[in-house]
Amino acid sequence: MNVTFRQLKVFAAVARHLSFTRAAQELHLSQPAVSMQIKQLEDSAGISLFEQIGKKIYLTEAGREMFHYSRSIAQQLVEIEEVLEQLKGVSRGHLTIAVASTANYFATRLLAAFAKAHDGITFSLDVTNRESLLWQLEHNECDLVIMGKPPETMELVTEAFMENPLVVIAPPDHPLAGKKEILMQRLQEETFVVREPGSGTRIAMERFFDEQGFQLKTGMEMTSNEAIKQAVAAGLGLGIVSIHTMALELETQHLVVLAAEKFPILRHWYVVHRQGKRLSPIAEAFRQFVLGQAGEVLTALTRR
């Protein structure tokens, strides 16, 4: 079977998205070019790798096997590249980072500060939800992940580098704004705008209220912190978010943090990678930077 690396790369993208259109967008190719590469690969393999049912495409059994081996081959190519980069040092290289959507408020600043000391490197930054982060860790799709509490069921190297306090927020004209030591019983009377089930903030929030023996009254569910802040500002309920998402709103007094009993909920940010993964020199340098200087960088930025 005569297969090119380009064909495998195109195939992997289509298999991952189960869409020729999305694969073409990811690879910056035309859809006909993607279709041609897949046809050539199927002709070489002598068997269909995809099947179409209605308007959707699915992997055949042969396609699933090909996808498994294509990921393995791609990982070996990455390792070859990493070994060569080790010989070059950390002045060059590409860093692939995935971060939780909440962490994006400071992750870009960390990358900017790190890039100033490493002019020759390039970045890929994926800002996404917890489910996608776990998928990328499971399939070894990125160098490092920045997220809240990592799962204990995966074989990961997890290192906490900064506190992540969760606070209760409200519009400045809310009756509880400016009150001191707001009791948990009083919070039970309020409706909360919350993140979607499965998000790190939602998991931490529900665990906290369960431990305190209180039931949280939830109203609307949102898929981003920005949406929560907008809903809270509109008077649709209180919210619980990371303090790291609140710099602009607090500065403009668009929202306020309530002095709620037993708050903030203290969590941590973690830098994470697969156990046994060989980090490239640039990925290792960024890991060390995050662990050693993240707090200092963000404190300096906050004071400006």
Phi, psi angles (nearest 5°) of residue 68: -60, -50
Q: What pLDDT, on the 0 to 100 scale, is given for residue 66?
A: 92
Measured over the CA atoms of residue 70, residue 75, residue 78 and residue 83, the dihedral's sign is negative
Domain ranges across the chain: 5-74, 89-162+268-302, 163-266
Q: How many angstroms separate the CA atoms of 7 and 34, rounded?
A: 9
Tokens of 70: 């294509």
pLDDT for 60 beyond 90:
yes
User: Per-residue pLDDT averaged across 54-73, rounded?
Assistant: 90
Q: What pLDDT does 175 receive?
A: 93
Give the whole-angstrom CA distance, residue 258 versus residue 176. 7
The model's pLDDT over 77-95, given as tens digits with 9 standing for 90+, comes to: 777 776 666 656 565 678 8
- Residue 297: the pLDDT is 67
Short-list 193, 181, 187, CA closest to 233: 193
Average per-residue pLDDT for the chain: 87
Q: What does the pLDDT read at residue 3?
A: 84
Distances (CA, A) of 51 to 20, 22, 36, 48, 225: 12, 17, 16, 7, 39
pLDDT value at residue 90? 60
Give the integer Cα–Cα distance in Å for 69 and 94. Answer: 24
Architecture field, domain 89-162+268-302:
3-Layer(aba) Sandwich (3.40)
The answer, yes or no, to whether residue 109 has pLDDT greater than 90, is: no
How many other CB atoms are there within 10 angstroms of residue 221's CB atom? Answer: 15
Average pLDDT over residues 14-36: 93
Q: Which fold has domain 163-266?
A: D-Maltodextrin-Binding Protein; domain 2 (3.40.190)
Q: pLDDT per residue over 145-173, tens digit each?
A: 999 888 888 899 999 998 889 999 999 99
What digits encode the pLDDT tens for the residues 244-280? 888 888 888 899 999 998 899 888 899 999 998 888 8
Report which of residues 232 and 74 the model is more confident about.
Answer: 232
| β-strands 191-195, 217-222 pairing | parallel
Q: Is 126 exposed, middle or buried (0-12, 13-18, 19+ CB in 10 A)?
A: middle
Beta strand 93-100 with 144-147 is: parallel
- Fold: same for 5-74 and 163-266: no
CATH architecture of 5-74: Orthogonal Bundle (1.10)
- Kindly report, residue by residue over 112-148, the tens digit of the pLDDT: 888 888 877 888 899 888 889 999 998 888 999 999 8
